[in-house]
Structure 1
Amino acid sequence: MVTAVRRALAIAAAALLPAAALAAGTASAATTPKSFPAKFAAPYLELSNSTVGDLAADKSASGVNHYTLAFLIPKSGCTPQWEAGGYSVGTFKSQISSLQSGGGDVIISFGGAEGGELALTCTSATSLQAAYANVVNTYNVHRLDFDIEGSPLDNTASIQRRDTALAALQKADPSVQVDFTLPVDPSGLESNALNLLKDAKAKGVKVSTVNIMTMDFGDGENALNDAEAAAKATAKQLASLYGVSSAQAWALLGLTPIAGKNDDNENFTQANAKTLLSFAQSNGVSVLAFWEVDSYDKKVGYAYSKIFKGIG
């Protein structure tokens, strides 16, 4: 996620539309698994050996059933690992399975601001597809998030390779959903983020949510006002990109602030969270998330989780 001023002014999806929402010539969206409602909260959890043990307790204490687990980054080549601790794919499977058995589910997120992006180090689209499929099959997950920010947003080769791999993955397994988490300004997505979505659409990737990082807008800025402005501008961009109505474009949006003090002295308060929830509900936003459960929300009694779960 963009921590450390968009974790250096950037932190954590495109052809994202329900089939009925797509105009002729655009890609249709994958069927939503039963565990993912049409509208839901999925806050980020930075997964590690010290946080995974609290996953069931987090769910019980907050009432939130879905989490976005961050981040899978490159270990080497086409082999991903969990960023915090360098744990291999397969680690934490029992805890994730337990959450799923209890009625919850997870989105697994690749990338982030600091650890690197697998499509940069894995230079074969076929091998990249296999790496993604291994994560899906190992954890029995059907929704992947790609937090793309910073220099990877300008790396055309990796963007095209990722989209080729994702389109092939979804063709082989239509149950797989794809989200993109992208940095945003109050004026909307910048050109590199829009170009990423355009390539995904052209390659036939079926995207479920474009999740915008409504955070780190600037020292002393109003985090809530900027989040709402960014959402309004992005909804217009998505309507134009996909040729859909305003209501359909809003349904493609996810909103992700930082829960509390941002990296640039903005403060997204619990009162702000309540207002953003009302804003999301009135405009038809599908997903609310925030950064991050263990470091930010747990110490305030899961206040942000309890607020955002109202989206469902």
Structure 2
Amino acid sequence: MAKREKFKKKWCVIGMVCFTAFIALSSSPTEAFAKQATGTFGVSVGKTWPEQVNAPYADMCEWITKDGYHNAGALNLARVVKDTGVQYYNLGFIQSAGGVEGNKVTWGFGGYKLLSEEGGKNDTQYKGIKKSIKDVRDMGGDVCISFGGANGTPFWQTTQDVDKLYNTYMDIVEGFGLTRIDLDVEGSGTNKINNIANAKAIKKLQDTLDVDVVLTLPVLPDGLTYEGLSILEAYLSEGVDLKVVNIMTMCYGSGTLLPGENYGTASLRAVNSLKDQLKTYYKKYANQILSDEKAYAKIGTTVSIGYESGSDPIFVPEWSKLVVDQAIEKKIAMTSFWSINRDAMTEPNQGIKNQYEHTSVFKEFGEKGVIVPPVEENIPILSGVEDKIILIGSEFDLLEGITASDKKDGDITASIKIDGTVDTKKAGEYKLVYSVTNSEGKIATKTCIITVKEEGNTVEEYDASKIYLKGDIVGYQGKTYECQWWTQGEAPGSQYGPWKLVNR
């Protein structure tokens, strides 16, 4: 996967000896060949990705509770690989955790420092994320980590110091042993000046480590907007070697569609439009002439499957097939979708009717590798551990509805241990940690928060005009709900919506 041309064999022996000596004495990374990241976080190292690959996005910030599909709360990618045969994944999102410490940006998945190597060495969810990465690699696949995203703060918004940005990327790429990264530039991260600084840091990174770069941008059916084109210009002008320009073929709005067009056919038009834009911009800013074939070979397309919002239609498998058929015909670089969590049904989504209904379509694109079966671990299963809200003075049984089971030991509910207590006479939030150990010494743990409220301390009523974030609590039609992800205008009560019933 070398990014630089090998030196031609026209050099005379003396010239080669002198040149080799110069390289050996040079300390600047830009004067020597880039090397592969070695990996220091204990998740092994990545591999060369196929030229054509299907790599769905996985939300590694979401707390997963579905039995068999989580590693201590993180998405269990080994289970997904085993279910589907898909071996490559884009992991979203690493973001700034709030500032700069020393010579780099503090970071974490979802912007949580607790989900990072520095802040989360003892955090079970972060350990679960690392386990998923290592499992995928052990099974013959790989992961790409995505930086940025629609919400949260990207590195390049926190600082425009090129060296600090470079140090941050080096820390993560080297630590996770990455061969591929994704820059998801949207939302608050689209400032061109900030992206120029980031592009300089990425160029420096590529001069040091052999890493492919994917640039992910919002798009309309007629191509990148002026803002998106300016971001593309920034990275090309700074000499960044873009392996893929990945467009988010989603959330167009009805006003952008042609008569008779839907989100599926609009996504095809977006890919064709980008092909022409890439030819123009590579010629102008990278001094490269791209044929149609080479331009298509740089394109990635990422749709949003199922239900996205009340303003967008449900993206159905029939539209996914249109996207995949075009990808195969045009030989583009990557297909993807947000998200494998939705399609694996680890989170509710009213647009997904059957598990892996989109994955079964998308996996027809790209290179198929050999899957190494994972080593099955007999880990016990804890069920019924959920956040609850109770009124002060009410009765509360810490074990009501809580069970534990194991493939070999059967019902082991009696072995459950509880760390923490709930004082039902005092308002507040109480953390309970449930754990159970099977006969092989394998441990399962789950955590929940029990909120004790005064009867007169009513929960805020749901407001359709307000934006709610994960963890927000509202009252609606006499019941209490907790928000599971960003939402606005979606009333509680739907089986597949963003609201979880926490108190009847």
Of the three residues 89, 109, 124, the one matched with 1:67 is 89
CA distance, structure 2, for counterparts of residue 280 and residue 149 of structure 1:
24
Asked whether the equivalents of residues 218 and 266 of structure 1 are also in contact (C-alpha less than 8 Å), the reply is: no
The answer on whether the counterparts of 2:35 and 2:208 sit within 8 Å (CA) in structure 1 is no
Give, in angstroms, the shift of residue 124 of structure 1: 1.4
Counterpart for residue 309 of structure 1? 363
Q: TM-score, normalised by structure 2?
A: 0.53
Please tell me whether the aligned partners of residues 250 and 267 of structure 2 are also in contact (alpha carbons under 8 angstroms): yes
The Cα shift of 1:207 comes to 0.9
**How many pairs are equivalent?**
284
Q: Match of 1:43?
A: 56
Deviation sequence 1:227-279 (CA, Å, 0-9, x none): 01111101110011123111100000000011122322322211111121111
Unaligned runs of 5+ in 1: 1-17, 21-29
* Cα distance in structure 2, aligned partners of 1:86 and 1:218: 35
For the structure 1 residues 273 and 102, does the alpha-carbon distance in structure 2 shift closer, same or farther, using more than 3 Å as the test? same
8 Å Cα contact 1:55/1:99 also seen in 2:
yes
Residues 47 and 84 in structure 1, CA contact (< 8 A), matched pair in contact too: no
Match of residue 150, structure 1, among 187, 211, 218: 187
Q: CA deviation at 1:186?
A: 0.8
Map residues 1-312 of structure 1 onto 2, 5 A cutoff.
34-48=47-61, 50=64, 51=70, 52-77=74-99, 78-83=105-110, 87-90=114-117, 91=126, 92-153=129-190, 155-173=191-209, 175-219=210-254, 222-242=262-282, 243-263=289-309, 264-298=311-345, 300-312=354-366
- Give per-residue Cα distances to partners, 1:192-211, cap 9 Å, x unaligned: 21111112111111111110
CA distance in 2: counterparts of 1:116 and 1:234, whole angstroms: 27
Report the Cα distance in structure 2 between the residues aligned to 1:296 and 1:60, rounded to whole angstroms: 14
Q: Shift in Å at residue 225 of structure 1? A: 1.4
Shift of residue 19 of structure 1? 8.1
Kept after mapping to 2: 8 A contact 1:259/1:297: no
Q: Tell me the SS of whatever aligns to 2:318.
A: helix
Conserved 8 A contact 1:89-1:135: no
Partners in 1 of 2:111 and 2:340 — Cα distance?
Answer: 14
The 8 Å contact of residues 259 and 291 in structure 1, kept in 2 or not, is answered as: yes
Matched AA of 2:313: E
Matched residues in 1 for 2:145 and 2:138: separation?
A: 17
Distance 1:157 1:276 in 2: 33
Give the secondary-structure state (helix, strand or coil) at the position aligned to 2:152.
Answer: coil
Whole-Å separation in 1 of the counterparts to 2:166 and 2:112: 24
Which has the greater radius of gyration?
A: 2
* Cα contact 1:107–1:144 (8 A) shared by 2: yes
Larger relative contact order, structure 1 or 2 (CA cutoff 8 Å, min sep 6): 1
- Check 1:53–1:112 CA distance in 2 against 1; reply closer, same or farther (3 A cut): closer
Q: Is residue 159–residue 165 contact of structure 2 (8 Å, CA) maintained in 1?
A: yes
- Secondary structure of 1:261's match? coil
CA distance in 2, matches of 1:84, 1:199: 25
User: Which shifted more, 158-167 or 290-299?
Assistant: 290-299
Q: Is the 8 A contact 1:35 1:104 kept in 2?
A: no
Q: Which amino acid aligns with 1:245?
A: S
Q: Distance in 1 between matches of 2:111 and 2:80?
A: 19
Matches of 2:360 and 2:116, distance apart in 1: 30
Q: 2:173, 2:93 → 1: CA distance?
A: 14
Q: Secondary structure at the match of 1:303?
A: coil
Query: Does the CA-based 8 Å contact 1:109-1:144 persist in structure 2?
Result: yes
Amino acid of the residue matched to residue 267 of structure 2?
Answer: A
Further displaced range: 47-56 or 234-243: 47-56
**Partner-residue secondary structure (3-state), 1:257:** strand
How far the C-alpha of 1:219 sits from its partner, in A, is 4.3
Higher strand share: 2
Q: Deviations over 1:12-45 (max 9, x none)?
A: xxxxxx989xxxxxxxxx9997541111111011
Conserved? CA contact 2:233–2:281, under 8 Å: yes
Q: Tell me if the contact between 2:97 and 2:112 (Cα under 8 Å) persists in the aligned partners.
A: no
Change (3 A) 1:269 1:62: same
Query: Which moves more between the two structures, 65-74 or 221-230?
Result: 221-230
Q: CA deviation at 1:84?
A: 7.4
The CA distance in 2 between the partners of 1:84 and 1:113, in whole Å, is 12
Give a deviation string over 1:174-233, Cα, whole Å, max 9, x none: x11111110001110011211111121111111111100000111495111110111110
Identical aligned pairs, as a percentage?
29
Q: 1:234 corresponds to which letter in structure 2?
A: L
- Counterpart residue identity of residue 310, structure 1: E
Task: Give the aligned CA root-mean-square deviation in angstroms.
Answer: 2.2
- Return closer, same or farther for 1:60/1:292 CA change in 2, 3 Å cut-off: same
Query: Unpaired segments of 5 or more residues in structure 2?
Result: 6-33, 37-45, 65-69, 100-104, 118-125, 283-288, 346-351, 367-504
Q: CA deviation at 1:143?
A: 0.8
In the superposition, relative to structure 1, how do residues 295 and 84 fare at CA in structure 2: closer, same or farther (>3 Å)?
farther
Residue 96 and residue 34 in structure 1: after superposition, are their counterparts in 2 closer, same or farther (change >3 A)? closer
| Aligned partner of residue 311 in structure 1, secondary structure | coil
